[in-house]
Amino acid sequence: MKRKKRFLFIFGTRPEAIKMAPLINALKDYKDQYDVAVCTTGQHREMLKQIMDFFQLSSNYDLDLMKPDQTLYDITSDSIHKLEQVLKDANPDLVLVQGDTTTAMTGALAAFYQKIKIAHIEAGLRSFNKYEPFPEEINRKIISSLADFNFAPTEQCKKNLEKENITQHVYVTGNTVIDALLWGVNKVRTDAGYNDFFQFIDPEKRTILVTAHRRESFGKPFEEICDALYTLANNFKDIQIVYPVHLNPNVQKIVYQKLKDHPSIYLINPLNYAQLLWIMDKSYFVITDSGGIQEEAPSLGKPVLVLRNVTERMEGIEAGNAILTGTSKEKILQESTRLLTGNEHYNKMSKAINPYGTGNSAEQIISILSKALDD
């Protein structure tokens, strides 16, 4: 009888877990072929638990990395050191990492040190600026150079890898975040509890969802974002802005100082994944600096204004799903106004085909790995 292959998934943040969940759950249908183990890092334990519960996942290993005031040096060195023993204990045939976090980078590096094959999910994203986003741009370049299998969400991502002479075992599969999104939205739409949670929302008004927290925007850029939102709420009486505010003090201080008194702006606590899906599904359009939401919102027909100067997800910009505004008050107001007043412009953005896939990425990846690992 042929020995089952063993896969080890390593992740630590909420976005990683969301994008790994479709793969882990899809592999449950292949129990006769694969053993699956999960290693979490313990950095964002409460947020991660929400995702694990929502997707019914469990962890076999927990690195317990979180400690006060830790730096990138701490996370990098501690995770590599602890992963050494995890890898020896799990003895996987393949380590799977996702995206561009420090956890993903150290997971790939630790696997490389033990000559274990590596699969990189969501490979090939590039901003071509090593400090934006920081440290993600360099993390993902390191991971792809180490990976034995690079699963690119788009053709452009594949081309980015080719420019770095990474051409072997590169596959375009779409992004597993769309698999997770479509499964999750179907689940929350049938749960009346979310209507109760968001009962402060006026169904007669158009809702604009805002998420903004990136460190590049701390200080003056965040003031510009907030000034734009305040002016927008004044200019349009038929809208309401829902802003789940990140817990980082650099965000909280400016946002609450600038926006807390406006009656049409709802500053709420950070949302779990299911709540975020619900409000995104109900929104008219989204203003965000999140990478994942740039991919997710278009699948729900929601235009996206991206609060970044550069994005590694240019496919959405080119397809017409999203527009780069940066943090300029003038640009945010201009593009928001176009969406609120121009039906043709809105419809064009909301109906543009999402370049990040149709929801079958996990099955594609499993099919490719099944064949490649048996060769």
> d(Cα 287, Cα 267) in Å, to the nearest integer?
14
Q: Which pLDDT score, from 0 to 100, does residue 176 have?
A: 96
- Residue 1 in this model has a pLDDT that exceeds 70: no
Q: What is the DSSP string of 284-351?
A: SEEEE--HHHHHHHHHTT--EEE--S--S-HHHHHHTSEEE-TT-HHHHHHHHHHHHH-HHHHHHHHT
CB 222 within 8 A of CB 251: yes
What mean pLDDT, rounded, does the chain reach?
93
> d(Cα 323, Cα 88) in Å, to the nearest integer?
46
93: its two tokens? 């045939």
- Residue 304 in this model has a pLDDT that exceeds 70: yes
Q: SS3 sequence, 135-182?
A: CHHHHHHHHHHHCCEEEECCHHHHHHHHHCCCCCCEEECCCHHHHHHH
Contact partners, residue 60, CB within 8 Å, separation at least 6: 37, 38, 39, 90
CB 196 within 8 A of CB 113: no
254: its two tokens? 């400016």
CB 306 within 8 A of CB 323: yes
- Residue 375 — very low, low, confident or very high, per pLDDT cuts 50/70/90? low
Lowest mean pLDDT among 2-6, 43-47, 164-168, 308-312: 43-47
Q: What pairs with residue 322 in β-bridges?
A: 304
Residue with tokens 């699963």: 151
- Residue 267 — very low, low, confident or very high, per pLDDT cuts 50/70/90? very high
pLDDT in tens, 8-29: 999 999 889 999 999 999 999 9
Q: Which residues form the catalytic set?
A: 100, 122, 136, 213, 215, 246
Work out the average pLDDT over 171-199.
93
User: Which residue segments constitute the domains of the chain, with CATH numbers given?
Assistant: 5-174+359-374 (3.40.50.2000), 191-350 (3.40.50.2000)
DSSP character for 13? S
CB 303 within 8 A of CB 286: yes
Q: How many residues does the chain have?
A: 375
Q: Which pLDDT score, from 0 to 100, does residue 321 have?
A: 93
Q: Which pLDDT score, from 0 to 100, does residue 248 have?
A: 82
Work out the average pLDDT over 32-36.
94
> d(Cα 254, Cα 210) in Å, to the nearest integer?
15
pLDDT: which is higher, 157 or 315: 157
- Residue 279 in this model has a pLDDT that exceeds 80: yes
> d(Cα 335, Cα 217) in Å, to the nearest integer?
19
3-class secondary structure, 234: helix
Q: Look at strands 285-288 and 206-211 and give their pairing.
A: parallel
> d(Cα 236, Cα 211) in Å, to the nearest integer?
20
CB 108 within 8 A of CB 123: no
Work out the average pLDDT over 273-293.
94
Distance of CA 39 to CAs 23, 47, 198, Å?
14, 16, 34
